[in-house]
A and B are shown apart, each in its own frame.
Chain A
Amino acid sequence: MEKKYFKSLDELTIDFQKDNSNQPAGDKQSLLEMQQEVTSLSSATRRDFLKVFGFTVASAAIVSSCEQPVRKAIPFLIQPENLVPGVANYYASTFFDGIDYCSILIKVRDGRPIKIEGNSLSSVTAGGTNARTQASVLSLYDNARYKNPMAKGVETSWEDVDQQIQNQLSAIKTKGGKVAIVSPTIISPATQAVINEFIAAYPGSFHVQYDTLSASSILKANEKFFGKAFVPAYHFEKAETIVSFNADFLGNWLSPIEYTKQYVKNRKLTEGQRTMSHHVHFEGGVSLTGSNADKRIQIRPSEEKIVIANLYAEIKKLAGLSSIDVLAGPVDVKELAKQLWAKKSKSLVVTGSDDTESQLMVNGINQLLENYGSTIDTAVHLKIRKGTDDQMELFVKELNAGNIDGVILYDVNPVYDYPQKDLLTNGLSKVGLSISTSVMNDETALLCGFICPDNHYLESWNDAEIKTGFYSLAQPAIRPIFKTRQAQESLLKWAGKPADFRIYLQNYWETIQYPKSTGYLSSTAFWNAKLHDGVFESSEKEVVNLPFTITTADAALTNTKNATKTDSIELVLYVNTSVGTGKHANNPWLQELPDPISKITWDNYIALSPKLAEQLGLEDEQLVKINNQITLPVAIQPGQEKNTVSVALGYGRENAGIPSNGVGQNAYHLMKVVSGEKKYWLNEVSLEKVGGTYPIARTQTHHSMEGRAIVRETSLEEYLTDPSAGNELHKEIQPHLKSLYEQRKFDGLHWAMSIDLNVCTGCNACVIACSAENNVPVVGKDQVMMRREMHWIRIDRYYSGDTDNPEFVRQPVMCQHCDNAPCENVCPVAATTHSNEGLNQMAYNRCIGTRYCNNNCPYKVRRFNFFDYTGADVFQGNKKDEVQMTTDLRRLVLNPDVTVRAKGVIEKCSFCVQRIQEKKLVAKTENRQLFDGEIKPACAQSCPAEAIVFGNLNDVHSKVAINFESERNYHLLEELHTLPSVGYLTKVKNTIA
């Protein structure tokens, strides 16, 4: 028998006990079991070992090769109609946020809206978008949205809220009280009807249209001039000379997408066009529009009126009318007046002034120049910004007087953006019933008794009339994500009407709009067709040939006699192209969007001219207190008028969520309200240096081209004599491009992109469109300061000339898809290669992150994932996501066609290869060739100026091939013989005055 060893006394005794006591004697079964157990353990054969070993190794291999388990993938049990998994659906809709209007298509993938595209069926925005429209899809997936109705700060149910609100409303009704609905301008006819229903249900209630950026002065001026308050339709495309006084019509003034479309129409020198408008811009700060002007003249905001008066006086003289002597302005406008006079009825003078008299004089100028009826259409009204400032003033006054019993704040946030915040909050506290229908967390809703969250616009039904007769529809592209309800439905419900806004809207369209249409058999057919198109354009007109009273303009001119000059520092409050009025501040894409002028992200700042900075002894990033109110860092801005400083509105949100809380400072409270009008500038501004500095995150820190031929420029004069003017280098370099190697041939398709620098305004729509399309991570301010922003397309901005009055040039730069690519050569693992269609491809899976390609890229368009920005890393817990872009909710915006890149890999523009592939497959299934222009990368699709053209270079008739043959065409750093597939068309400035 085998000798028995024991390691301890216990072991020995326990064994004994087990043997004797735990086993009932004679239990054969258990004895057999025991025996088997023993043998199975001891007698594992070699085969058994191999089996177990093999299984272990195989399972270990399988387990370890699954990098990430799939979480929360829920299959469709019943496939919805018209939904093919993996194929996007597009729904026509409308974006309107009270400021910007855009007719759009919503791209929906597997039930999720993931991208906004322009709707080319609209003749207003015609397929163009802007940065905020592009970014609006991300706000759908914002954690800072209200997710439930709330009563007194407590989440509750809709039934409960409705009950409470209706009780209070009927109490108000019985006592004959007033309820005010405060909203931005309502351009939706159906919504207006709903509001009217509500007002009808609660007599005594009234509607206040409160516009954060108002066109109050235009409305008032037109009321005096034409006897009717309206904003006319402008036609920049018909104007050969454009004079703008601080009207940022390419950025934020009224309808910028539409105006960009119009503006570039007669500035494009492609397709045989040989004329260009001449654009003169007067301003104090540097706006997007000003930086695009042919001639930019710096004036202080206080001087604007005098300059306009001078121009009006000169025009009057030219018209042979008696004029008066006005105070001499800082600039001589005689020449300008002559030029305008020469372009009678083909010119356009606009002003962004908040002063009614200035607007009146501009009306007078346009009247004398016979621009009404040609470049300004009074028969078609622009329906946005219908609110006048005094409406709000009156409302606040009433509120404070305690004359209002209920307030419904519909899509407005006055506690944040109303200049006299204290007055408003004080008034609000006196109201018994306050309801906010805010979609997102905001400062006003915090003070309201009830929060009845509205749906996001992508979850809503709506319509809009942007201009007289130009209607569009909005439809939901997703069911409400949270327990929200459309504000219109809330109003209907409280008014005691059937609360289904879709039915209401359809009825409205079928009864009111259908009769305006032609060619539809039934109202339902009309509705279905318009819902499909998203737009409906009837030929309605307002009253034509309005009588005008030019004496009102003359009176304004006479009044300027008393104007005095001041020398104090003046402050301009403006909105930028990214966060705008602050409504979209909680959108990380917009916060990280570099300003088109200063290239600053994530903050507002005091833009200061270099001279003033020198005079005040201020340096970049130094903290300065304005008017003892807010402290902001200084950003020295060449081109800023010497004594004018600018501060952007839209920052300093307090209750907007992560990431916008505390980004920048709120400048709305610096604004003054003078006799019922909001003033967007103020004089006698005090700038007080306080200790310390504050870092600013810029994406570009060097601003000179250093004499290199990067952006090639010429004047119209030179261009007309020699189309290759400014581009002489191209011809010089071409013959020198020799190689020992055979040049690559592309037999089938050869993708290329042409960018017309002459029409790119730098509006940044493409940057956001690219981020949305390609899942480009947002990295946050710290990382931007480290120069690690990830944008695949950037817009370089250079200054030329002297620092006090520089010229601005811009250049969108993305991967140039070089046919002789320096990056491809140096990758040790061939992670970046060239396709047989001329694309420079990036295989993220193969990339090991040596960054050699990035170093060797002369265009520096490659981006490295320095951290785990996306949560795609194999390690857990090392995510770098200060702006919360990787929450489950935010990730719903990701485009499933584009890989989310992990830490440690390089990424870059792919020419939207997923779009190319999609259209190729479509063409293949339809057994046809691709059309030219069928494939549009996100940047080209979004561009309101149509500056980007994409296509097949092998097709000689394609637009891109024609552009490449243009004498204006050149390639960036072409002397390096990288053979880029991106071509640029020279910038041409119209200096012919």
Chain B
Amino acid sequence: MYVSPIREPLIRGNKDYSQVTKDILAPMAGTPSKYWYMGIALALSAALFGAWATYVTLFTGIGSWGLNKTIGWGWDITNFVWWVGIGHAGTFISAILLLFRQKWRTSINRSAEAMTLIAVMCAGFFPLIHMGRLFLGFFIFPYPNTRALWVNFNSPLLWDVFAISTYFAVSLIFWYVGLIPDIGTVRDKAKTKIRKAIYGFLSFGWTGSAKHWSRHETVSLILAGLAAPLVLSVHTIVSFDFATSVIPGWHTTIFPPYFVSGAVFSGFAMVLTLLIITRKALHLEEYITVNHIESMNKIIILTGSIVGIAYMTEFFIAWYSGNEYEMFTFVNRAFGPYAWAYWIMMTCNVITPQLFWFKKIRTNVLITFIISIFVNIGMWFERFVIVVSSLHRDYLPSSWSMYTPSVVEVGLYVGTLGLFFTLFLLFIRVFPVIAIAEVKSVLKTSGENKNHSEHE
């Protein structure tokens, strides 16, 4: 395939195939570094905090949270939407960018997808734990029963159940299918019997034959086709949780596109946060180059701007609709008791990403890292603002109230962060963080040595 010579190479350093394999498998070999141990210890203790909070919630009840008669959702649903949002980048990168034939995705799709899966797991935890009676949670599945009880297909919460489980399932399969050739490589490089056996089993007998490759690519493409609309649908449906309600600030038709772009926005921010650390820690700077970071930053500008426009549109419509309740809600968001959350959201989501218009900034790894953190924070506050500031002052002023999270709710959030990093740290030890086979496929056309040789 022809690649313009003036394009920056996607893989730096004069790599050959065996060097690629060696580089990428390096983090899996040997004993982990002390940083890895420190990281997993920290992550596990956070997860343990979450486990305690889960126990308290289940045993004593939702009362251990800061919710009240007016505000039925708080950090729980904020965290849920935030995690689902983060879970958008991976599949977006591997499915949509695959369909658009964006080669730069090859270096980042594996870890982004892993991140997606873990994030969706963390997200799924919140709708479960937020139930007053988790042990009867199975009621939400439309299973046949003698009492002729059926679920309510009108409820967006039910749509959520299907949307998220489908998304998770498809993403998992897609990710795993992509992993198969690489697992084959790991198996071939394995030094112990047990390792060989395990990876041999996981590789499904991958031999790298032309037939295998052909099937692999067909399946990948089909799955990409399946996953691409799901990327858009999941957050659309999550937004329906709010949009189909009657609460001012929730009842908004702009929500689906606004949520999807917000999700991609936050997803990319989280990918950046993770990969900037990962490439440094695992010495993968030659694979995940500044080029990659810049490309992701461009997506961040785009989606961040969409989100910014959405914020303004909401305000405009609140005024233009002439609906006194909605108008009040938006004024209350910006100037009410939760204004601080609103302005954190505005600063982090609308202002900071605009800095990426400057090439110097978007190619600066450190600043990118900082801004990615800002976006993560901003997007969390966006959900907090939507969930809490709309509920706390709705129609009847007699019921207005305030909400402060309890330590248990903080514990649940920190717990999912702990779970997230624990699983990610395990992932980098167990599977190649970069899709070896895919990187190899672009090495000849987009590797530095290729370009170099042509110029000679």
Contact = CB atoms under 8 A, between A and B. Distances in A.
A and B: bona fide binding partners: yes
Interface of A: 700-708, 710, 783, 786-789, 794, 796-798, 813, 822, 825-830, 846-852, 854-856, 858-860, 862-868, 873-875, 878, 880, 902-906, 972-973, 976, 978
B245 A822 contact: yes
A906 B133 CA distance: 11
Contact of A701 (B134, B135, B151, B401): B401
Nearest to A825: B154
B61 A867 contact: yes
A174 B410 CA distance: 77
A788 B133 contact: no
Given A788-B68, A848-B134, 9 more contacts: A708-B397, A796-B396, A798-B398, A828-B158, A829-B140, A847-B133, A849-B133, A855-B247, A856-B247
A858 B397 contact: no
Contact of B395 (A707, A847, A858): A858
B59 interface: yes
Interface in B128-144: 130-137, 139-140
Contacts of A903: 61, 132-133
A864 B69 contact: yes
B155 A852 contact: yes
B324 interface: yes
A851 B130 CA distance: 9
Contacts of B102: none
B115 to A, nearest CB: 27
B152 interface: yes
Interface string B33-66: 0000000000000000000000000011111001
Given A798-B397, A904-B61, A826 B139 contact: no
Interface string B171-214: 00000000000000000000000000000000000000000000
B397 A706 contact: yes
30 contacts: A700-B398, A701-B401, A702-B393, A702-B400, A703-B397, A706-B328, A707-B324, A708-B325, A710-B397, A787-B69, A788-B69, A796-B396, A797-B398, A827-B155, A829-B149, A829-B152, A830-B149, A848-B137, A848-B140, A850-B127, A852-B72, A855-B72, A856-B245, A858-B247, A862-B69, A863-B69, A866-B62, A866-B67, A868-B61, A903-B132
Q: Among A829, A863, A976, find the residue whose CB has the most chain B CB atoms closer than 10 A.
A: A829
A309 to B, nearest CB: 41
Nearest to A599: B398
B246 interface: yes
Contacts of A700: 398-399
A829 B134 CA distance: 13
Contacts of B324: 707-708
Contact of B151 (A829, A866, A874, A972): A829
Interface of B: 59-63, 66-73, 127, 130-137, 139-140, 149-152, 154-158, 161, 241, 244-247, 324-325, 328, 391, 393-401
Contacts of A797: 398
A783 B149 CA distance: 34
The listed residue with most A CB atoms (<10 A of its CB), out of B73, B324, B398, is B398
Contacts of A973: 395-396
Contact of B246 (A789, A798, A856, A905): A856
B199 to A, nearest CB: 39
Contact of B155 (A825, A862, A880): A825
Interface centre among A796, A797, A798, A856 (most CB of B within 10 A): A856
B78 to A, nearest CB: 13
B245 A854 contact: no
Contact of A828 (B140, B394, B400): B140
Nearest to B241: A852
A873 B58 CA distance: 11
Contacts of B398: 700, 702, 794, 796-798, 813
A678 B201 CA distance: 93
A904 B62 contact: yes
A851 B63 contact: no
Given A828-B152, A858-B394, A903-B61, A852 B133 contact: no
A878 B57 CA distance: 11
Contacts of A786: 63, 66, 68
Q: Report whether over half of chain B's contact residues are helix, strand or loop; otherwise say mixed.
A: loop
B133 A848 contact: yes
Nearest to A976: B246
A191 B434 CA distance: 94
A350 to B, nearest CB: 32
Contact of A866 (B61, B135, B137, B395): B61
Contacts of B135: 874
B61 A789 contact: no
A796 B400 CA distance: 12
Contacts of B154: 825-826
Contacts of A702: 393, 397-398, 400
Contact of A788 (B63, B127, B394): B63
Contacts of A854: 69, 72
A546 B220 CA distance: 105
Contact of B69 (A789, A905, A972): A789
A827 B152 contact: yes
A904 B131 contact: yes
Contacts of B156: 826
A689 B59 CA distance: 43
A899 to B, nearest CB: 14
Given A852-B155, A852-B157, A860 B132 contact: no
Contacts of A813: 396, 398
Contacts of B161: 828
A851 B132 contact: yes
- The listed residue with most A CB atoms (<10 A of its CB), out of B60, B61, B401, is B61
A828 B244 CA distance: 13
B396 A859 contact: yes
A855 B132 contact: no
B336 to A, nearest CB: 11
Contact of A710 (B70, B328, B393, B396): B396
Contacts of A703: 397
Contacts of A783: 63
Contacts of B70: 787, 860
B140 to A, nearest CB: 5
Nearest to B59: A878
Most buried by A among B66, B67, B152, B399: B399
Contacts of A830: 149-152, 155
B202 to A, nearest CB: 35
Contacts of B66: 786
Contacts of A873: 61
B67 to A, nearest CB: 7
B69 A860 contact: yes
Contacts of B325: 708
Given A859-B396, A860-B394, A865-B61, A850 B152 contact: no
B397 A850 contact: no
Nearest to A903: B61
Across the A-B interface, the 3 shortest Cβ-Cβ residue pairs: A849-B132, A904-B132, A866-B63
B396 A864 contact: no
A864 B132 contact: yes
Given A825-B244, A828-B161, A878-B60, A846 B139 contact: yes
A704 B397 contact: yes
B132 A701 contact: no
B151 A828 contact: yes
Contacts of A850: 127, 130-132, 157
A851 B395 contact: no
A789 B63 CA distance: 12
Nearest to A811: B398
A809 to B, nearest CB: 11
Contact of A849 (B60, B62, B400, B401): B62
A774 B136 CA distance: 24
Contacts of A906: 132
Nearest to A977: B246
Contacts of A859: 395-396
A874 B399 CA distance: 31
